[in-house]
């Protein structure tokens, strides 16, 4: 790890060696709360952030072109690399309260791109945005038995308001099913009020003991959808529709080849009848639960008396769903695509898709080069490309190359005096290092350059997905016995095998291997094989992996 990083996070090494208490019996929760593995989970600094520089420039200043080892190599220490990328690419910083995170503009812009896409999809599928208060009476949390069991260990409680001790403690929302049902009960009367389909973009709080920027923080941002339906079929259809939207988002926008499927009973959300998930393989081959969609059945509607009068005049409890994706997804993007040089952003979510670096030595070159760079910028911008011209004079072109590579910008355009004379530019791909990714002599002619850039961005988008797919598939092993499963997991891979064993067996796998059932994938092999654990006939394969 580079010197600056060690200074910045003095306590990491110690924390790494701690083991965490077993929580296997606790049910997993929405989107952002998958099972944690024993290793690789960092605690954020417990004190206020240290005072030394945050600025990646301060660090990179030391480097010259080619010296991009200012961040820990990914292959050497994945977690160290992850934290370095977050710091030096200016994605996030540590908040003053243990486990909290400040999302910096560049990191937030990735979240905004995620929001922009999903928000449209939610509205297209008939959901309206709204806002529920974040303070929930403590008594609400207790109404649904498994919900309180799942969440009570990690609640933040407000006990003082306006200088006075409160009569009832208030929960700072960890998720909103309870308050949503309290309100739904008042809004839903007749079958004509159904379906009721809403979503909110909000912050939520979970008192996590081991935290890691983006992946698991005390407070995080997410969207949570909540719907109520007249029939169980409609609720099931909705839960499936939303996991499908998340899946498409992951593939098409984030270039992450997630595996959608159903959670095991043990891993189902606290309060749900069925949980669907998208599971992503990170660069260290650990699984990340990247989004979830729950069929809540009538669990909350029974607890809160959310009823409607059906077409025959009968009172019925509504059938519900909830579904969420959070800022954790930004962590997933970093850990899927990044490399030793830093971040690598999929073009469709990149805040900056193209960076232009002008190159000159003499003053008379400068004005020619800059004016060409400006007109290239303007033409790309008006073609809808997110472009930045880095014309600062304090940095060398080499420094800029490293910096924007670290920031994961998909394409770089270089313009020097000779290029201007030739009416052409040099284009470099972030995802293809060195000379291989560099193409000389692309015409500056707006129509030609725009088409070329858009084409390249599409190519990079596909290429990132393809690379991630190959990586994923080469790290999933089909197993037919527990021994094979253990050996796959010990090699750091995912194991896929037929499973119809008990919850106890599932927990035993976790205790003995550190791996959990990530999901029963929707895509199942045609051939049926006996359960890897019991040898009994099994109807499904499950995916096992260690996870974040």
Nearest approach, Cβ of residue 113 and its own copies (Å): 12
Question: What whole-number distance in Å separates Cα of residue 486 and Cα of residue 289?
Answer: 21
Tell which positions 471-510 bind its own copies, by CB under 8 A: none
Residue among 110, 172, 254, 385 that touches its own copies (CB under 8 A)? 172
CB-wise, 161 or 441, nearer to its own copies? Answer: 161
Nearest approach, Cβ of residue 265 and its own copies (Å): 26
Asked if residue 131 binds its own copies (CB under 8 A), the reply is yes
CB-wise, 161 or 423, nearer to its own copies? Answer: 161
Nearest approach, Cβ of residue 89 and its own copies (Å): 14
Residue among 42, 117, 140, 246 that touches its own copies (CB under 8 A)? 140
Nearest approach, Cβ of residue 159 and its own copies (Å): 5
CB-wise, 109 or 432, nearer to its own copies? Answer: 109
For tokens 């796998």, name the residue.
509
325 to 32, 206, 289, 514: CA distances (angstroms): 7, 15, 10, 25
CB-wise, 146 or 200, nearer to its own copies? Answer: 200
Residue among 78, 82, 108, 499 that touches its own copies (CB under 8 A)? 108
CB-wise, 216 or 263, nearer to its own copies? Answer: 216
Residue 42 class from Cβ within 10 Å (0-12 exposed, 13-18 middle, 19+ buried)? buried
CB-wise, 132 or 276, nearer to its own copies? Answer: 132
Tell which positions 174-233 bind its own copies, by CB under 8 A: 179, 182-183, 185-187, 189, 192-193, 198, 202-203, 205, 207-209, 218-219, 221
Nearest approach, Cβ of residue 343 and its own copies (Å): 17
Asked if residue 161 binds its own copies (CB under 8 A), the reply is yes
Tell which positions 44-103 bind its own copies, by CB under 8 A: 48-49, 51, 53-55, 58, 93, 95-97, 100-103
CA dihedral 217→94→18→76, nearest 10 degrees, is 110
Nearest approach, Cβ of residue 393 and its own copies (Å): 11
Tell which positions 243-272 bind its own copies, by CB under 8 A: none
Asked if residue 25 binds its own copies (CB under 8 A), the reply is no
In angstroms, how far is the first alpha carbon of the chain from the final one? 22
Asked if residue 134 binds its own copies (CB under 8 A), the reply is yes
Nearest approach, Cβ of residue 158 and its own copies (Å): 5
Binding piece for its own copies, criterion CB under 8 A, among 153-161, 222-230, 339-347, 362-370: 153-161
445 to 373, 422, 455: CA distances (angstroms): 12, 11, 15
Q: How many residues bind its own copies (CB under 8 A)?
A: 68
Establish how many alpha carbons lie within 13 A of residue 167's alpha carbon, considering only the half-sphere containing its beta carbon: 0
Asked if residue 300 binds its own copies (CB under 8 A), the reply is no
510: Cβ–Cβ under 8 A, 6 or more apart, which residues?
24, 35, 516
CB-wise, 384 or 492, nearer to its own copies? Answer: 384
Question: What whole-number distance in Å separates Cα of residue 231 and Cα of residue 235?
Answer: 7
Q: Residue 45's closest CA among 88, 103, 96?
A: 96
Nearest approach, Cβ of residue 379 and its own copies (Å): 20
CB-wise, 187 or 418, nearer to its own copies? Answer: 187
CB-wise, 123 or 418, nearer to its own copies? Answer: 123
Q: Residue 22's closest CA among 515, 502, 509, 511?
A: 511
Residue among 30, 83, 136, 373 that touches its own copies (CB under 8 A)? 136
For tokens 């060690």, name the residue.
6
Which pairs count as long-range contacts for 58-65, CB under 8 Å and 24+ apart, including other chains?
Answer: 58/4, 59/2, 59/4, 59/88, 60/88, 60/399, 60/402, 60/403, 60/406, 61/399, 63/399, 63/402, 64/396, 64/398, 64/399, 65/396, 65/397, 65/398, 65/399, 65/401, 65/402
Question: What whole-number distance in Å separates Cα of residue 472 and Cα of residue 482?
Answer: 21
Nearest approach, Cβ of residue 134 and its own copies (Å): 6
C-beta atoms surrounding 520 within 10 Å: 17
Listing DSSP states for 9-49 in one string gives: -TTHHHHHH------TTSPP-STT-----SSS-PPPPSSSP
Which helix (H) or strand (E) segment holds residue 503: the answer is: helix 503-513
171 to 155, 163, 204, 209: CA distances (angstroms): 7, 18, 11, 18
Q: Which residue ranges make up the site for its own copies (CB under 8 A)?
A: 48-49, 51, 53-55, 58, 93, 95-97, 100-105, 107-109, 111-112, 128-137, 140, 152-163, 169-170, 172, 179, 182-183, 185-187, 189, 192-193, 198, 202-203, 205, 207-209, 218-219, 221, 394
């Amino acid at each position: 790890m580079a010197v600056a990083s060690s200074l910045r996070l003095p306590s990491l090494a110690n924390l790494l060696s701690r083991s965490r208490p077993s929580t296997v019996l606790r049910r997993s929760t929405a989107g952002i709360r998958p099972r944690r593995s024993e290793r690789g989970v960092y605690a954020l600094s417990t004190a206020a952030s240290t005072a030394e520089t945050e600025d990646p420039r301060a660090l990179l200043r030391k480097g010259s072109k080619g010296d991009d080892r200012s961040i820990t190599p990914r292959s050497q220490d994945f977690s160290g690399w992850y934290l370095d990328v977050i710091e030096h690419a200016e994605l996030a910083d540590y908040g003053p309260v243990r486990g909290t995170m400040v999302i910096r503009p560049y990191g937030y812009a990735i979240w905004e791109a995620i929001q922009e896409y999903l928000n449209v999809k939610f509205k297209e599928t008939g959901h309206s945005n709204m806002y529920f208060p974040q303070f929930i009476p403590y008594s609400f949390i207790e109404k649904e038995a498994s919900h309180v069991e799942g969440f009570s260990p990690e609640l933040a409680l407000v006990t003082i308001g306006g200088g006075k001790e409160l009569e009832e403690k208030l929960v700072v929302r960890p998720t909103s099913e309870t308050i949503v049902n309290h309100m739904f009960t008042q809004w839903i009367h007749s079958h004509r009020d159904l379906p009721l389909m809403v979503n909110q973009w909000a912050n939520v709080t979970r008192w996590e003991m081991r935290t890691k920027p983006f992946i698991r923080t005390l407070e995080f941002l997410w969207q949570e959808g909540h719907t109520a339906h007249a029939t169980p079929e409609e609720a099931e259809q909705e839960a499936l529709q939303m996991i499908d939207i998340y899946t498409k988002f992951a593939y098409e926008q984030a270039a992450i080849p997630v595996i959608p499927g159903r959670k095991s009973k043990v891993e189902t959300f606290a309060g749900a009848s069925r949980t669907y998930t998208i599971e992503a393989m990170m660069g260290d081959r650990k699984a990340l639960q990247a989004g979830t969609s729950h069929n809540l059945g009538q669990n909350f509607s029974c607890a809160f008396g959310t009823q409607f009068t059906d077409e025959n005049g009968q009172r019925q409890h509504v059938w519900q769903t909830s579904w969420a994706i959070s800022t954790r997804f930004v962590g997933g993007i970093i850990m899927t695509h990044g490399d030793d040089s830093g971040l690598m952003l999929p073009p469709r979510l990149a805040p900056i898709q193209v960076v232009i670096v002008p190159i000159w030595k003499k003053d008379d070159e400068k004005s020619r080069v800059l004016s060409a760079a400006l007109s290239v910028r303007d033409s790309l911008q008006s073609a809808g490309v997110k472009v930045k011209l880095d014309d600062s004079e304090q940095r060398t072109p080499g420094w800029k190359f490293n910096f924007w590579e670290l920031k994961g910008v998909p394409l770089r355009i270089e313009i020097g005096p000779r290029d201007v004379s030739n009416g052409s530019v040099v284009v470099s791909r972030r995802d293809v290092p060195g000379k291989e990714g560099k193409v000389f002599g692309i015409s500056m002619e707006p129509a030609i350059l725009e088409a070329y850039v858009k084409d390249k961005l599409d190519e990079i988008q596909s290429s990132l997905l393809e690379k991630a797919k190959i990586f994923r598939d080469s790290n999933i092993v089909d197993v037919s016995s527990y021994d094979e499963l253990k050996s796959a997991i010990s090699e750091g891979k995912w194991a896929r095998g037929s499973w119809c064993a008990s919850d106890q067996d599932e927990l035993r796998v976790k205790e003995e291997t550190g791996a959990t059932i990530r999901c029963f994938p929707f895509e199942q092999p045609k051939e049926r094989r006996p359960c890897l654990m019991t040898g009994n006939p099994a109807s499904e394969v499950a995916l096992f992996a260690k996870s974040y």
